[in-house]
Structure formats: structure tokens, C-alpha cells
């Protein structure tokens, strides 16, 4: 049933928020037609696209795109294949002319006294007639098979040259062909590249430099442009140019005047008004509604994940959800009413103060960011709002955190309004606004902050009454000895009452030392053991005379003792104690083991020769501390109990006992979710010692103390 109630609450809150954002984001509408004289000055409430001008520019950009030429891999491969075939034909003809070369001859070098290898001699030397016949045959063959016509002189040169020289020519032709065909080249680019390659080869050749020109002529014959006209690519390029303009449209910025008073309304003006939803004919905007629903869904999901991870107990209470929802809906509703006239007058600072006072700084900081994001559609995504809202809300939450009975509320008002004023001024300077614009905006945001904080402070008592939330005033009320539960504790469990008072002193001093909420720590310590009221005589501090546990087995005793956090949680809810106190009551033992009863069970098992007990049977099944205040109360509770049981009466022994208690909690991983650092744990130990120093009437000797001369 509780789950159904929480789910129904979330659905209602979701519907209210989404509806409020949708209707709050709808601009004022006008009944104007083409040819009418406008009785208003109408400006764009948000930035939009001038679709007419954008379409015109897109078509112009598309028409200016030239035909696209693209490299053809097939063309390139065919050209290279033909080149290789022509070179192979030339090599074959050379073999027919010269036959296989004879073995290399070796001649001595008279200067170096070494043997020098010379070029292989041809097997035969063709006659001039044979050479001319071979040239004619080769040219005819290449022309017939590859449609390439070579100059006889060039072909005669490659057939007549030596083998090594031909190999050099062939190598350069092959390398340059591969290089050129790997690029996209048309006829002009190809000719230029061949001339460049020819010059480069000429520089590389030490002998026969005239071969560079020969290679260039062969390249001109063998190679062709490898680019082709691609209609699809051309169309894609034109479409890309069109899309590029469409994706970077002509914008009508927020605040741009669309039509002035007394101006004749044109067709283009009507189109712009319709695009901005400023006409009476504008219907339900499904696209905007879908976007708002998606935005709200994302914000709700992020909020759920936040509470699920950092404050899991919070979402278990329908009352907490309603209280948080009211704190958020009030500024949302006010923003929706004022957005068309004063877009920067969004009272997010109200939510920051209320949420921080009742649910803590971290929750206030996170939820005001969520609220700021939710309000963006209403204030037409005014860029200054995020900066001003977050800066002012953070300041309001910081000064609300830890607010006590004697705190001056004027400090929250002044600091919040001052921050919003400064943030607005900073934005105006950065964006180079006029001094008049900056002054008007700064005054508006400062006044909004003042009114928001005053309203938040004024509504706190109503929140406490309706939602049972915790504020500084509520905590002060709970700390009074006259509270019904504290009265019961004093009368029915006096030992527990005395123990709780000492734990409260320790927790208050430690929380103050590490910057935690000392008021929550103190009040939580007052009530942390109220579960013992269900059976006070089962706890040693309340016993006078006989100990009931002597008649029970260790396991039975442990089961009774382990119930007191759960019993305390039930009792606290019955008396409507606030969530932070409930958390401390539930978490102050974490998952520690009742070592006294576990030790007795071990001794009993050894004596009787039975199986050793399972330590989990003697372990608390409550959550480990999830806040610094819960962890501090855990350490204070264990410290005070251990000090009492050991009857410690001096600081030296107290120091050893406290450090042993803390070390045990750390080793048992009881502090891993508390966000306490090791430095803060050391500060807590010293704070405990300071309290016991007053109790023992001794002075704490800090590590850096030096004896007086």
C-alpha cells in the first residue's frame, strides 16, 4: 500500500511539473493577418530560424557547387595494368633481340687491386635491320593491343640501351606510375605531375640524364587521368552544400523585433509569428510537449538515482516526497506567471532555502540545479538564468546550512541578493550589455532573491506542521528535555538517558570540529537508544541487581539487544521524529557484532565441545552509517559505552580506549559510506578527548604541545 501511495505521489508530481512547464513556456499570442496594421511591438520570445531566408541561401549554395570529379580505382588499376603489360612487351622484345645475357665478366681494378664486376654481356648483338624491324613490330603490337602509339625513336632508344640502363628506366616508370595513379589527377594535374617527376628524375640520375625526358614521354603515353565525372557524387555535394546552410540557418535571436507598432503585417511576418507560436491559430504543440515530458522524465530519473544512492530512506516516505514537491512547485508556478514579463524573476532561491533547511545542503544543491534546468523552457532558455540561479541558490543553501536559533536571517537575505546582483552584473559585463540593461536586470534579480528568501523563511513553520520535516527550529524543539520521548527515557530508562546525554555531548563536539551538522548529531544522540524503552531492563545501564541475561543463552540475549534499533525506528516514526534523526537511530550500530555475547557463545561452545557459533548470528542487521552525523553518533555511542565498561578515569587511558574503538569501526568497514576522511576521524578523536578532559578535569596534551619552560 505504501509503495502504491509513493508511486501515485510521484505520478501526480510528474504531471503537475510537466503541465506547469508546458503552459508556462507558452508565449503570448496575437490575432494578426496579412495586411493588418500591428497595434503592438512584437519581439521574438525565443531564438528561432528564418526559414524563408534560410531556404533561399541553401538553394544558392547548392547551385554554386561544381561537377564532382572522383578518383576511379578501376581506371587507376587498368592504367597501371596496361603500363605493366607495355613494359613487359618491351622486355620480351629485348629478349628476342639479345637473347639471355652471358655470365658476368670480372676484371681487375689496377688502382685498388680488386676485382670489379661488369655488366653482363648480351648473348648476341642484333644488326641495324633487326633493330628497326623489332621497333616496327613492337610499336604495331602495342598499338594494336593497347591503343598506344609510340614514337619510333623512343622505342628504338629503349630497345637499344643496355640492360642496366633499361632496368633503371623501367624502375622509374613503374614507381612514378604507381605514385601518380594513387592520387586523383585530371589531365592538367597529370601533365604537371609528369613534368615535376621528370625534373626530379633528372636530378637523381648521375649518368644518362637524357633518360629523364624519355621517361617523361613514356609516362605521357602510358598514363591517363584517373578521375571520372560522378553524378551521384555531384548530387551528394550539392545536397551537402544545401544541408550545410540548412544546418546553419539564418537565426532570429531572442528579443529581435519582428514587427513594430503601426507596421503593416506581411506574409513573411505571419510565417515568423506562426513559427514562434505567437498566433491565435497555434494549436497544441506536440513536439514541445514531448520535449518537456522527456526533460521532466530525465530530471525525475536523475533525482531518483540521487536519492536511491545518497538518501535511500528519503524516498520511502510519501510525506517527504510531497514536501519536496511543494518546495519545487511553488517557485515553478511563480516563474510560469512572471516569465512573459520578468524572465529573470524565477524564485529558485525559495527552494534552496526550504530544501536545505529540511533536507540538507547536498540535497538542496542538487535539487535546485534540477529545478533550474526544469525552468529553462519557461524562461525561454535565457542564458543568464543558469548562472544567476545556481550562484544565488548555492549561496542561499550555504547560509541556510546549520542555521540555529540565534542565527540572523538577514544574513541569508543579504548574501543571496548580493550574489544574484553580482552574478547578473558579471553576465552583463561579459556580454557587453549597456549600463541601463545591467542595472535593470541586477535590481530585478536582487529583489527576487530578497522576496524568495523571506517567503521561504516565513513558510518554514507551515512545512514543519504539515510535513513533519526538520528545520533548525524543529531540532531545537526536539532537544528540549520536556519532549515526551526524552521524558519517558529519563523515567523508564534512566541509565540509557544518562548515556544518551554523554553521547550527545561527544557527538556535538565532534560534529562541530569536523564541520558536520552539530544540531542533528546532538538531537540524534538524544534519541538514538529510544528503542531500549521497549525492554529497558535488558540493558546493563538500566539494571539494578540481577541481570536477566544470566538466565538466557548468548544467542537469545543477542536477539533481544539487536532489536533495539528497529524498535527505536518504529517508536520514532510514531512520534514523528524527522528523517535525519530516524537515520541516526537506525544506523548507529551498523553491522557490528555484539562481541560480549559472541565471546560468551564461543566459550560455551568450547566447554560443551559443540560447533563454534556463526558470528553473523550476533551481528546487527541495520545499515552502516550513510552520513557524517550517523557515523559520529556511532563512534560517540561505542566510545561512551566502552569508557563506562572499563571505568576509565584518566586521559591517557581514555586516548587508548577511544583509538581502539575507532580502529575497530574502521577495520569493520563501518565508516566507508560516511564520507569521513582519516583526518576528520583524527579530529573526532581529539574532540572526544577534549570532552573527557572536562569530565576528568584534565588538559588534553596535543601532539604539537611543548612543555612550558
Report the distance separating Cα 368 and Cα 351, nearest Å.
7
Residue that is written with C-alpha cell 528535555 in the block? 481
| Stretch 361-385: mean pLDDT | 88
pTM above 0.75, yes or no: no
pLDDT over threshold 70, residue 282:
no
pLDDT, position 467: 65
**Among candidates 353, 560, 566, 367, which has minimal Cα distance to 472?**
353
Place 579 in a pLDDT band, splitting at 50, 70 and 90: confident
Paired with 116 in beta bridges are 107
| Stretch 590-614: mean pLDDT | 87
Helix H or strand E segment including 690: helix 678-696
pLDDT, position 313: 67
Place 266 in a pLDDT band, splitting at 50, 70 and 90: confident
Report the distance separating Cα 564 and Cα 535, nearest Å.
9
- Residue 360 burial (10 A CB sphere; 0-12, 13-18, 19+): buried
Are the C-beta atoms of 519 and 490 separated by less than 8 Å? no
Place 405 in a pLDDT band, splitting at 50, 70 and 90: very low
Report the distance separating Cα 564 and Cα 586, nearest Å.
9
Per-chain mean pLDDT for the chain: 84
Q: Helix/strand/coil (H, E, C) string of 400-456?
A: HCCCCCCCCHHHHHHHHHHHHHHHHHHHHHHCCCCHHHHHHHHHHHHHHHHHHHHHH
pLDDT, position 105: 46
C-alpha distances in Å from residue 159, one per residue of 124, 138, 144, 454: 14, 10, 19, 104
Tens digits of residue pLDDT in 447-498: 999 999 999 888 877 777 666 566 766 777 788 888 899 999 999 999 999 9
**Among candidates 552, 628, 627, 555, which has minimal Cα distance to 593?**
555
Report the distance separating Cα 444 and Cα 442, nearest Å.
5
Report the distance separating Cα 132 and Cα 98, nearest Å.
14
pLDDT above 90 coverage of the chain, percent: 28
Place 683 in a pLDDT band, splitting at 50, 70 and 90: very high
Place 404 in a pLDDT band, splitting at 50, 70 and 90: low
Q: Mark 516-531 as b/e (b = at least 16 C-beta within 10 Å).
A: bbbbbbbbbbbbbbbb
pLDDT, position 637: 93
**Among candidates 329, 335, 457, 321, which has minimal Cα distance to 389?**
335
Q: Torsion-angle region of residue 233: left (phi > 0), alpha (psi -120 to 50) or beta? A: alpha
Place 4 in a pLDDT band, splitting at 50, 70 and 90: confident
Among 102-111, 453-462, 661-670, top mean pLDDT goes to: 661-670
pLDDT over threshold 60, residue 571:
yes
Report the distance separating Cα 510 and Cα 505, nearest Å.
9
* Domain ranges within the chain, ordered by starting residue: 70-100+126-229, 298-467, 479-696
Q: Please indicate whether residue 128 or residue 68 has the higher confidence score (pLDDT).
A: 128
- Dihedral angle computed from the Cα positions of residues 135, 138, 144 and 150, in that order, rounded to the nearest 10 degrees: -60
- Residue 252 burial (10 A CB sphere; 0-12, 13-18, 19+): buried
Where is average pLDDT lowest: 42-56, 136-150, 422-436, 521-535?
Answer: 42-56
C-alpha cell at position 105: 665478366
Are the C-beta atoms of 527 and 517 separated by less than 8 Å? no
pLDDT over threshold 60, residue 113:
no
Where is average pLDDT lowest: 10-24, 275-289, 587-601?
Answer: 275-289
pLDDT above 70 coverage of the chain, percent: 87
Report the distance separating Cα 644 and Cα 277, nearest Å.
74
pLDDT over threshold 80, residue 585:
yes
Q: DSSP letter for 647, please.
A: T
Please provide the distance, in angstroms rounded to a whole number, between the alpha carbons at the two ends of the chain: 72
pLDDT, position 403: 59
pLDDT, position 47: 65
Where is average pLDDT lowest: 272-286, 499-513, 556-570?
Answer: 272-286
| Stretch 37-50: mean pLDDT | 69
Report the distance separating Cα 252 and Cα 343, nearest Å.
19
Where is average pLDDT lowest: 291-295, 315-319, 564-568, 636-640?
Answer: 315-319
Are the C-beta atoms of 173 and 218 separated by less than 8 Å? yes
pLDDT over threshold 70, residue 705:
no
Tens digits of residue pLDDT in 489-513: 999 999 999 999 999 999 999 999 9
| Stretch 683-703: mean pLDDT | 80
Are the C-beta atoms of 331 and 366 separated by less than 8 Å? no
Report the distance separating Cα 138 and Cα 145, nearest Å.
11
DSSP conformation letters of 119-148: PPPPS----HHHHHHHHHHHHHHHHHHH--
Place 280 in a pLDDT band, splitting at 50, 70 and 90: low
pLDDT over threshold 50, residue 707:
no
Report the distance separating Cα 684 and Cα 662, nearest Å.
10
| Stretch 314-324: mean pLDDT | 78
| Stretch 647-660: mean pLDDT | 90
Q: DSSP letter for 621, please.
A: -
Assigned architecture for domain 479-696? Orthogonal Bundle (1.10)
Place 700 in a pLDDT band, splitting at 50, 70 and 90: low
Place 294 in a pLDDT band, splitting at 50, 70 and 90: very high
Three-class SS of residue 71? strand
Are the C-beta atoms of 169 and 201 separated by less than 8 Å? no
C-alpha cell at position 272: 515568423
Q: Please indicate whether residue 698 or residue 10 has the higher confidence score (pLDDT).
A: 10
Residue that is written with C-alpha cell 523563511 in the block? 457
pLDDT, position 118: 56
Amino acid at each position: 500500500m505504501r509503495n502504491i501511495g509513493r508511486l501515485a505521489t510521484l505520478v501526480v508530481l510528474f504531471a503537475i511539473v510537466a503541465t506547469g512547464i508546458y503552459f508556462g513556456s507558452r508565449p503570448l499570442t496575437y490575432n494578426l493577418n496579412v495586411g493588418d496594421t500591428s497595434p503592438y511591438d512584437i519581439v521574438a520570445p525565443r531564438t528561432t530560424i528564418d526559414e524563408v531566408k534560410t531556404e533561399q541561401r541553401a538553394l544558392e549554395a547548392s547551385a554554386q557547387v561544381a561537377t564532382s570529379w572522383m578518383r576511379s580505382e578501376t581506371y587507376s588499376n587498368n592504367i597501371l595494368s596496361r603500363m605493366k603489360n607495355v613494359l613487359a612487351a618491351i622486355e620480351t622484345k629485348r629478349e628476342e633481340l639479345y637473347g639471355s645475357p652471358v655470365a658476368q665478366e670480372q676484371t681487375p681494378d689496377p688502382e685498388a687491386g680488386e676485382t670489379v664486376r661488369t655488366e653482363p654481356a648480351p648473348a648476341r648483338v642484333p644488326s641495324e635491320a633487326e633493330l628497326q624491324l623489332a621497333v616496327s613490330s613492337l610499336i604495331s603490337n602495342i598499338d594494336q593491343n593497347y591503343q598506344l602509339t609510340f614514337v619510333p625513336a623512343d622505342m628504338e632508344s629503349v630497345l637499344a640501351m643496355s640492360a642496366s640502363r633499361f632496368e633503371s628506366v623501367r624502375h622509374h616508370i613503374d614507381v612514378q606510375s604507381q605514385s601518380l595513379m594513387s592520387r586523383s589527377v585530371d589531365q592538367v594535374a597529370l601533365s604537371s605531375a609528369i613534368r615535376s617527376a621528370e625534373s626530379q628524375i633528372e636530378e637523381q640520375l648521375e649518368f644518362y640524364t637524357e633518360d629523364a625526358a624519355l621517361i617523361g614521354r613514356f609516362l605521357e603515353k602510358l598514363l591517363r587521368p584517373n578521375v571520372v565525372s560522378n553524378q551521384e557524387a555531384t548530387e551528394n555535394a550539392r545536397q551537402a552544400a544545401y544541408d550545410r546552410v540548412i544546418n546553419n540557418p539564418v537565426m532570429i535571436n531572442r528579443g529581435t523585433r519582428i514587427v513594430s507598432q503601426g507596421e503593416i503585417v506581411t506574409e513573411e511576418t505571419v510565417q515568423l509569428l506562426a513559427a514562434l507560436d505567437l498566433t491565435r491559430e497555434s494549436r497544441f504543440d506536440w513536439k514541445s510537449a514531448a520535449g518537456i515530458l522527456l526533460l521532466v522524465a530525465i530530471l525525475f530519473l536523475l533525482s531518483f538515482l540521487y536519492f536511491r544512492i545518497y538518501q535511500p530512506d528519503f524516498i520511502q516516505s510519501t510525506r517527504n516526497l510531497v514536501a519536496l514537491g511543494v518546495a519545487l512547485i511553488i517557485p515553478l508556478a511563480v516563474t510560469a506567471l512572471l516569465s512573459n514579463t520578468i524572465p529573470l524573476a524565477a524564485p529558485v532561491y525559495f527552494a534552496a532555502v526550504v530544501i536545505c533547511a529540511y533536507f540538507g545542503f547536498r540535497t538542496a544543491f542538487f535539487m535546485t540545479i534540477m529545478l533550474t534546468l526544469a525552468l529553462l523552457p519557461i524562461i525561454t532558455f535565457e542564458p543568464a538564468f543558469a548562472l544567476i540561479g545556481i550562484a544565488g541558490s548555492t549561496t542561499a543553501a550555504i547560509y541556510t546550512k546549520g542555521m540555529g536559533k540565534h542565527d540572523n536571517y538577514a544574513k541569508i537575505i543579504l548574501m543571496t541578493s548580493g550574489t544574484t546582483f553580482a552574478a547578473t552584473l558579471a553576465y552583463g559585463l561579459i556580454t557587453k550589455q549597456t549600463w541601463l540593461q545591467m542595472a535593470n536586470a541586477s535590481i530585478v534579480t536582487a529583489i527576487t532573491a530578497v522576496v524568495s528568501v523571506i517567503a521561504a523563511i516565513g513558510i518554514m513553520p507551515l512545512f514543519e506542521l504539515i510535513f513533519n520535516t526538520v528545520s533548525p527550529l524543529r531540532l531545537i524543539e526536539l532537544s528540549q528535555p520536556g519532549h515526551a520521548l526524552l521524558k519517558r527515557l529519563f523515567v523508564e530508562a534512566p541509565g540509557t538517558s544518562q548515556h544518551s546525554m554523554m553521547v550527545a555531548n561527544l557527538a556535538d563536539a565532534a560534529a562541530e570540529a569536523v564541520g558536520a551538522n552539530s544540531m542533528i548529531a546532538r538531537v540524534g544522540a538524544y534519541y538514538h537508544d529510544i528503542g531500549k524503552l521497549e525492554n529497558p531492563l535488558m540493558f546493563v545501564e538500566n539494571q539494578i541487581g540481577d541481570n536477566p541475561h544470566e538466565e538466557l543463552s548468548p544467542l537469545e540475549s543477542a536477539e533481544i539487544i539487536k532489536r533495539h534499533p528497529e524498535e527505536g525506528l518504529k517508536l520514532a516514526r510514531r512520534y514523528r521524529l524527522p528523517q535525519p534523526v530516524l537515520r541516526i537511530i537506525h544506523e548507529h550500530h551498523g553491522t557490528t557484532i555484539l562481541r560480549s555475547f559472541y565471546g560468551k557463545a564461543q566459550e560455551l561452545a568450547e566447554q560443551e565441545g559443540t560447533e563454534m557459533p556463526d558470528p553473523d548470528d550476533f551481528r546487527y542487521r541495520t545499515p552502516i552509517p550513510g552520513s557524517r552525523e550517523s557515523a559520529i553518533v556511532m563512534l560517540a555511542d561505542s566510545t561512551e559505552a566502552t569508557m563506562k565498561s572499563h571505568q576509565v578515569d584518566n586521559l591517557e587511558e581514555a586516548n587508548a580506549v577511544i583509538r581502539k574503538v575507532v580502529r575497530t569501526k574502521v577495520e569493520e568497514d563501518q565508516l566507508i559510506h560516511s564520507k569521513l576522511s582519516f583526518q576528520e576521524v583524527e579530529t573526532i578523536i581529539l574532540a572526544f578527548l577534549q570532552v573527557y578532559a572536562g569530565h576528568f578535569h584534565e588538559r588534553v596534551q596535543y601532539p604539537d604541545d611543548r612543555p612550558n619552560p
